[in-house]
């Protein structure tokens, strides 16, 4: 029994707020690189970049890209072989602020992998983390700087996060309990 | 993927998937840190029963870029040359904890025997077995052709309709066999051109056109022409009268090179016999992919190592 | 020893079916077939209930490798004899490629003696054609012929007598004592480094080809030589359709040639080589389906005279390796009758009388083996085997009685089963089980005592 917790409009509002917060904390749009973590993080990163551009029409240097973390995961021999996605880092990231964007923050292991991956591309001045949903249950000392929605959940619940560009529809819902199947769920 | 033993039987989606991962691996070479932590703590053994410095260092570079530990086990000067069996060697490597074995062997089928034996539970990559197959060479050739044709838009694409002519010692060439299966799986049309003595006796089951006339093959304006190396030992075994005659009839000399279509790709798996099967002008031209093939070899082998050595091996 | 039997202890085989289909009782006594008929009884005889079993004359293998002397880690004359008995054989011809080679009277007499000592089958040594199988000069063919081993079959098997002049001389020379040259037909230059049948599959697998023409050209040459010098030629392990044609032509021309096919060439094809499992490596190699079919019809129409096993045991390490390094050969004695059953009897090409001919009478005649292949008639030596044609089994390691485990049939389902084998009037196999060397020894002592 799925319960919708964010509608398409809620998601849009949350991303707009996150964009404002990013600008605020960065004191403007300069030297900002938004990197999404595939698959849905890349879509969210693009939307945030577009929103920032709208808020600050004169900004010339809002760069957006994708950062695949597959090769940096700590569970490669524990699950079936993963097919990596593309990494596209727009230009140098030395001395800039990088905002990592992911859809759901859970164990924190994906973000740990992303930080390692980022370090192999350069040395940003600041790295921040934006997520649409934080569902808790961290296994590593990692927290998000910008959160769309905190969704305290139990581990046997399942968070469904759909985005138009990937899934054809858009919402965040939560499935109760034991019968959930984990297909599509961001692995812990 | 549990093992990579041949390209025959490799599915189209699987092959394209591997080439796409190789694209990601190629991107790593352009970064500040040209290394991935993916296979940290894993051991890759290069088990070479036949000399091939080029192939060995390509696999070594690939494994090291994925942070694996690499052990080079060469038959020369080891217990293998004193008559130790493949079985004992494999069990020795298993006892050392090899996670992946890259095997080059003069006997056709040796990698398959190793994979089926139960002597060692490691992913096996065939790095060339006798006159059977050399799958990573074919994969890097396909990767190279795809990049030449599609550039950065290569991902997801096959080689549909690409006309590839492979010239030379097809009889003894594992490169020719692996390319035949892979390129046709990817949609290319393969033509072999060789002296009749250097073609297998029965090619009826091969999805390829066969000819003896290189000039006719060039007149057909192939998209790709791949020249195979002529081994020195063939010249003494009456496969053809002498190297001069071979070169005159089946070599890509300057004059034939000039007749190729301007956009043609000239390939050679190396090492080349300049002046025998390929002229220097052809080898050093902009049409030649010889050096790209070497660079792409590392990317393709990284992709193969990743696919074999990540993932739960029970599941694959 | 309990249940002590002597040669004076007769056997009553009750209700067996002869090859021609008649049902009968048989009495074996004093080493001979004493009586044939229904409702027989014999005082003191041990009865073997043979309802549903076929009684075949003891099988004769014209082509066996027993490996002793020299390669006892692969097989000994004792273990090879046991493998033969389990397969229903009462006589085997032991090929000459031992170490030392069976190229002198001394070696062939030793082999003969070891066979007698084992007591499971008659071991008839084959003599080498050339000294050391080297293909350079004739071995002492006459000395072997007049030795106690009475050698009549000469072969360099494993190697071809490729020198045409040497082959001509050999064919001529053995006429002096009614000998026969059994040729391993393989043109050596055409088969350098050969690994498998040359054709579409060898092209794909990248294994060096063993072309059919390398066999056919030697057979063609040899039948013409045999015709020219008026001698007797036997062709070992014929494996190609073209060879069958050449032999058919030669026979039609009246040339004195006989030919054998192995069980494996009658059943198996090269397709088994995918996967490079060295158990399927044999020389001549497994061929195409068309070749198998030609051999079967050649056997049915008499072009191929006999089936011979080419039983070739090897130690495990000779097969547990990459293809090129593996030894050629398969064990075949234990499975031969079942394989012939599967290949040509089940398909209706051969009846059981034909099986008796190709596995007993004809090989005994070609090899000039006294006391063998005389069939199941009153007065003939008591050499026979009881076979259950209705049985079926998954062939396994336990079905092999020799030292070699290099059988291509492991894990295959094969029809039939040898239930009993009688040699010189005593049982070497009973209730489907090999009798122990001790039991055989006491039988022989009683026999001679």
Residue B237, pLDDT score:
79
Q: How large is the ipTM?
A: 0.94
Do C50 and C63 belong together in one domain? Answer: no
Q: Where are the beta strands (DSSP E) in chain A?
A: 2-6, 32-36, 62-66, 97-105, 126-134, 146-150, 158-162, 171-175
pLDDT, one tens digit per residue, over C209-254 is 999 999 999 999 999 999 999 999 999 999 999 999 999 999 999 9
Reported as type and span, the H/E element at residue A13 is: helix A8-26
Judge if C89 and C228 occupy the same domain: yes
Q: What angle do CA C196, C222, C285 make, to 5 degrees?
A: 10
- Give B188-225 pLDDT, tens digit per residue: 999 999 999 999 999 999 999 999 999 999 999 999 99
CA distance C355 to C88: 12
Q: What is the mean pLDDT of residues C320-343?
A: 97
Residues C147 and C191 in one domain: yes
CA distance B23 to chain C (A): 30
Following CA atoms C75, C79, C83, C89 in sequence, which dihedral angle do they give, to the nearest 10 degrees? 110
d(CA C277, CA B303): 30
Name the pLDDT band for A60 (thresholds 50, 70, 90).
confident
- For residue B254, pLDDT beyond 60: yes
Contact B312 A79 (CB under 8 A): yes
Q: What is the pLDDT of residue A187?
A: 43
A179 or C189: whose pLDDT is higher? C189
Range of the domain at C388: 11-55+380-448
- CA A42 – CA A35 distance, rounded (Å): 7
Flag whether C132 is in a domain.
yes
What pLDDT shows up at residue B32? Answer: 84
Judge whether B164 and B220 are in contact, CB under 8 Å: no
From CA C125, how far away is CA C114, in angstroms rounded?
Answer: 11
pLDDT single digits (tens) A131-173? 999 999 999 999 999 999 999 989 899 999 999 999 999 999 9
Within 13 Å and on the Cβ side, how many CA atoms surround C47? 10
- Judge if C42 and C167 occupy the same domain: no
Mutate to test the interface with B, among A65, A70, A75, A76 (most CBs of B within 10 A): A76
Give me the residue from B21, B307, B311 closest to A79, CB to CB: B311
Catalytic residue among C222, C305, C310, C354: C310
Q: Is B54 annotated as a binding residue?
A: yes
Q: Is the pLDDT of residue C206 over 90?
A: yes
Shortest distance between the Cα of B112 and any Cα of chain C, in A, equals: 7
C310 belongs to the catalytic site: yes
Residue B125 to residues A5, B47, B130: CA-CA distances in angstroms?
A: 49, 10, 14
Strand order in the sheet with A146-150: A62-66, A32-36, A97-105, A126-134, A146-150
- Helices (H), ranges, C207-322: 212-229, 241-252, 263-267, 289-301
Q: Tell me: pLDDT of A4 over 80.
A: yes
Chain B residues with CB inside 8 Å of A83's CB?
17, 20-21
Within this chain, domains B12-133+294-309 and B135-289 share the same CATH topology: yes
Q: Residue C143 sits in a domain of what CATH number?
A: 3.20.20.140
Q: What per-residue confidence (pLDDT) applies to A81?
A: 87
Q: Is B72 left (phi over 0), alpha (psi -120 to 50) or beta?
A: beta
**Phi, psi (5° rounding) for residue B295?**
-65, -45
Q: What is the mean pLDDT of residues C420-435?
A: 97
Q: How confident is the model over B48-63, as pLDDT tens digits?
A: 999 889 999 999 999 9
Does residue C189 share a domain with residue C116?
yes
Q: Are C323 and C431 contained in the same domain?
A: no
The minimal CB distance from A121 to the residues B32, B315, B316 is found for B32
| Neighbour-count burial for B250-272, b at 16+ CB within 10 Å, e otherwise | bbbbeebbeebeeebbbbbbeeb
Of B116, B133, B203, the CB nearest to C275: B116
Percent of chain B at pLDDT > 70 equals 96
Q: What are the respective helix, strand and coil percentages of chain B, to the nearest 5?
A: 45, 15, 40
Confidence tier at B81 by pLDDT (50, 70, 90): low
Contact across the interface for C207 and B130, Cβ inside 8 Å: yes
- Asked if pLDDT for residue B82 goes beyond 80, the answer is no
The pLDDT value given to residue C7:
52
- Name the 3-class secondary structure at A151: coil
Using pLDDT thresholds of 50, 70 and 90, give the confidence band for residue C449: very low
Domains annotated on chain A, with CATH: 9-73+86-153 (3.40.50.2020)
No. of H helices and E strands in chain B?
12, 9
Q: If pLDDT is split at 50, 70 and 90, which confidence band does C399 have?
A: very high
- Cβ atoms within 10 A of the Cβ of C284, count? 26
Touching subunits of A (3+ CB pairs, under 8 Å) are B
Parallel, antiparallel, or unpaired for β C209-210 and C196-197?
A: parallel
pLDDT per residue as tens digits for the range C336-368:
999 999 999 999 999 999 999 999 999 999 999
CB C94 within 8 A of CB C102: yes
Distance CA B7, CA C438 (A): 57
DSSP assignments along B8-42, one per residue:
TT--HHHHHHHHHHHHHHHHHTTSSS----TTTT-
Q: Which residue of B has its CA nearest to A71?
A: B38
Q: Which two tokens stand for residue C179?
A: 């000998």
Can you list the positions of beta strands (E) in C130-225? 153-154, 180-183, 196-197, 209-210
C233 by DSSP, 3-state: which?
A: strand
Average pLDDT value for chain C: 96
Q: Residue B121: how many CB atoms within 10 A of its CB?
A: 9
At the second CATH level, the architecture of B12-133+294-309 is 3-Layer(aba) Sandwich (3.40)
Per-residue pLDDT at B77 exceeds 70: no
Give the pLDDT score at C5. Answer: 42
Q: Select from C332, C367, C402 the last residue of a domain.
A: C367
Quick check: B112 and C275 CB within 8 A?
yes
Position of tokens 């071991």? C123
Instruction: Give C63's pLDDT tier (boundaries 50, 70, 90).
Output: very high
Q: Where are the domains of chain B?
A: 12-133+294-309, 135-289
Section B106-124 average pLDDT: 95
Q: Are strands B69-74 and C433-434 parallel, antiparallel or unpaired?
A: unpaired
Is the pLDDT higher at B235 or at C33?
C33
Q: Is B221 assigned a ligand-binding role in the annotation?
A: no
**Residues C241 and C113 reside in one and the same domain:** yes
Report the alpha-carbon distance of residue A151 to residue A148 in Å, rounded. Answer: 10
pLDDT at position A119 over 50: yes
Q: Which positions ≥6 away from C291 have C-beta within 8 Å?
A: C212, C239, C240, C241, C265, C269
Quick one: tokens of C201? Answer: 């599959």
pLDDT at position B30: 86
Is pLDDT of C401 > 90?
A: yes
Confidence of residue A182 (pLDDT cuts 50, 70, 90): very low
Q: Do C325 and B174 touch (CB under 8 A)?
A: no
The pLDDT assigned to A184 comes to 42
Q: Where residue C400 sits, what CATH number does that domain have?
A: 2.30.40.10
- Residue A76: is its pLDDT beyond 70? yes
Half-sphere exposure of B316 (CA within 13 A, CB side): 22
**pLDDT at C319 > cutoff 90:** yes
Return the pLDDT at C1. 37
* CATH label, B135-289, candidates 3.40.50.1820, 3.40.50.150, 3.40.50.1370, 2.40.50.140: 3.40.50.1370
Q: Rounded to a whole number, what is the distance in Å from the CA of A87 to chain B's nearest CA?
A: 7
Q: Is residue C1 part of a domain?
A: no
Whether B278 shows a pLDDT value over 50: the answer reads yes
Residue C273 confidence (pLDDT): 97
Among the candidates C342, C367, C392, a domain finishes at C367
Q: Does B128 touch chain C (CB under 8 A)?
A: no
Contact partners for chain B, using 3 or more CB pairs closer than 8 A, are A, C
Tell me what the mean pLDDT of segment A89-105 comes to: 96
CB C148 within 8 A of CB C116: no
* CA-wise closest residue to C119 among C31, C246, C208: C31
d(CA C381, CA A23): 108
User: How many CB atoms are closer than 10 A to CB C242?
Assistant: 18
Same domain for C346 and C422, yes or no, is no
Predicted local distance difference test score (pLDDT) of residue C4: 41
Domains identified in chain C, total number: 2
- Residue C416 φ then ψ, to 5°: 75, 170
Report helix, strand or coil for C312.
coil
């Amino acid at each position: 029994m799925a319960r919708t917790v964010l509608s398409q409009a809620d998601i849009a509002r949350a991303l707009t707020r996150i964009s404002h917060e990013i600008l605020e904390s960065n004191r403007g749009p300069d030297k900002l690189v938004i990197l999404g973590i595939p698959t849905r993080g890349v879509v969210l990163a693009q939307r945030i970049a577009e929103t920032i551009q709208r808020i600050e029409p004169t900004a010339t240097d809002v760069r957006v890209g994708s950062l695949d973390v597959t090769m940096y995961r700590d569970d490669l021999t524990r699950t079936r072989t993963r097919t990596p996605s593309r990494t596209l880092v727009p230009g140098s990231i030395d001395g800039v602020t990088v905002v990592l964007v992911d859809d759901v923050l859970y164990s924190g292991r994906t973000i740990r992998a992303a930080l390692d991956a980022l370090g192999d591309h350069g040395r940003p001045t600041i790295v921040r983390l934006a997520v649409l949903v934080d569902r808790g249950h961290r296994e590593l000392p990692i927290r998000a700087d910008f959160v769309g929605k905190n969704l305290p959940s139990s581990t046997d619940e399942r968070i469904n996060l759909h985005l138009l560009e990937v899934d054809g529809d858009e919402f965040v819902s939560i499935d109760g309990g034991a019968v959930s199947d984990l297909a599509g769920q961001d692995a812990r | 993927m549990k093992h990579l033993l041949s390209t025959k039987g490799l599915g189209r989606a699987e092959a394209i998937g591997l080439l796409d991962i190789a694209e990601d691996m190629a991107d790593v070479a352009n970064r500040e840190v040209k290394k991935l932590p993916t296979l940290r703590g894993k051991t890759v053994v290069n088990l070479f029963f036949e000399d091939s410095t080029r192939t060995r260092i390509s696999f070594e570079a690939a494994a090291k870029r994925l942070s694996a530990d690499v052990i080079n086990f060469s038959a020369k000067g080891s217990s293998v040359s004193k008559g130790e069996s493949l079985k004992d060697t494999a069990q020795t490597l298993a006892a050392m904890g090899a996670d992946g074995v890259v095997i080059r062997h003069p006997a056709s089928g040796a990698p398959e025997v190793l994979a089926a034996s139960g002597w060692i539970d490691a992913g096996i990559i065939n790095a060339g077995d006798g006159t059977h197959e050399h799958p990573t060479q074919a994969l890097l050739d396909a990767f190279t052709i795809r990049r030449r044709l599609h550039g950065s838009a290569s991902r997801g694409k096959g080689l549909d309709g690409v006309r590839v002519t492979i010239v030379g010692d097809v009889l003894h060439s594992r490169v020719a066999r692996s390319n035949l299966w892979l390129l046709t799986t990817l949609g290319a049309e393969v033509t072999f051109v060789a002296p009749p003595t250097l073609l297998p006796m029965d090619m009826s089951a091969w999805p390829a056109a066969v000819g003896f006339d290189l000039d006719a093959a060039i007149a057909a304006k192939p998209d790709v022409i791949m020249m195979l190396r002529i081994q020195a030992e063939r010249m003494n075994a009456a496969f053809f009268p002498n190297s001069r005659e071979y070169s005159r009839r089946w070599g890509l000399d300057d004059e034939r090179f000039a007749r190729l279509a301007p956009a043609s790709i000239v390939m050679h798996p190396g090492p080349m016999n300049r002046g025998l099967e390929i002229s220097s002008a052809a080898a050093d031209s902009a049409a030649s992919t010889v050096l790209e093939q070497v660079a792409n070899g590392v990317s393709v082998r990284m992709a193969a190592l990743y696919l074999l050595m990540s993932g739960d091996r029970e599941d694959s | 020893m309990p249940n002590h039997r002597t040669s004076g202890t007769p056997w009553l085989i009750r209700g067996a079916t002869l090859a021609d289909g008649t049902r009968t009782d048989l009495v074996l006594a004093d080493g001979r077939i004493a009586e044939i008929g229904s409702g027989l009884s014999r005082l003191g005889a041990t009865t073997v209930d043979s309802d549903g079993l076929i009684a075949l004359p003891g099988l004769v293998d014209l082509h066996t490798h027993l490996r002793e002397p020299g390669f006892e880690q692969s097989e000994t004359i004792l273990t090879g004899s046991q493998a033969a008995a389990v397969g229903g054989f009462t006589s085997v011809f032991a090929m000459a490629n031992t170490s030392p080679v069976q190229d002198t009277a001394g070696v062939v007499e030793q082999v003969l003696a070891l066979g007698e000592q084992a007591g499971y089958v008659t071991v008839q040594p084959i003599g080498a054609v050339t000294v050391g199988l080297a293909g350079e000069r004739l071995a002492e063919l006459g000395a072997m012929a007049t030795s106690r081993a009475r050698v009549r079959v000469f072969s360099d098997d494993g190697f071809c007598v490729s020198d045409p002049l040497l082959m001509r001389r050999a064919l001529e020379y053995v006429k002096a004592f009614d000998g026969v040259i059994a040729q391993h037909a393989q043109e050596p230059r055409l088969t350098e480094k050969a690994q498998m049948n040359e054709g579409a599959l060898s092209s794909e697998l990248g294994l060096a080809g063993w072309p059919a023409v390398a066999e056919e050209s030697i057979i063609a040459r040899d039948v013409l030589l045999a015709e020219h010098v008026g001698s007797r030629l036997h062709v070992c392990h014929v494996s190609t359709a073209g060879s069958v044609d050449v032999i058919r032509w030669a026979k039609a021309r009246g040339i004195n040639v006989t030919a054998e096919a192995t069980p494996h060439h009658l059943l198996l094809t090269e397709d088994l080589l995918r996967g490079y499992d060295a158990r399927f490596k044999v020389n001549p190699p497994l061929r195409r389906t068309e070749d198998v079919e030609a051999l079967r019809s050649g056997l049915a129409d008499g072009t191929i005279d006999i089936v011979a096993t080419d039983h070739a045991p090897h130690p495990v390490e000779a097969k547990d390796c990459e293809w090129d390094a593996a030894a050629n050969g398969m064990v075949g004695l234990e499975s031969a009758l079942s394989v012939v059953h599967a290949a040509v009897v089940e398909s209706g090409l051969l009846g059981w009388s034909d099986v008796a001919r190709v596995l007993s009478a004809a090989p005994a005649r070609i090899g000039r083996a006294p006391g063998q292949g005389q069939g199941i008639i009153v007065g003939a030596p008591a050499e026979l085997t009881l076979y259950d044609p209705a049985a079926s089994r998954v062939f396994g390691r336990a079905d092999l009685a020799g030292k070699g485990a290099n059988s291509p049939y492991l894990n295959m389902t094969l029809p039939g089963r040898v239930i009993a084998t009688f040699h010189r009037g005593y049982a070497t196999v009973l209730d489907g089980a090999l009798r122990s060397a001790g039991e055989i020894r006491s039988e022989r002592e009683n026999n001679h005592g």
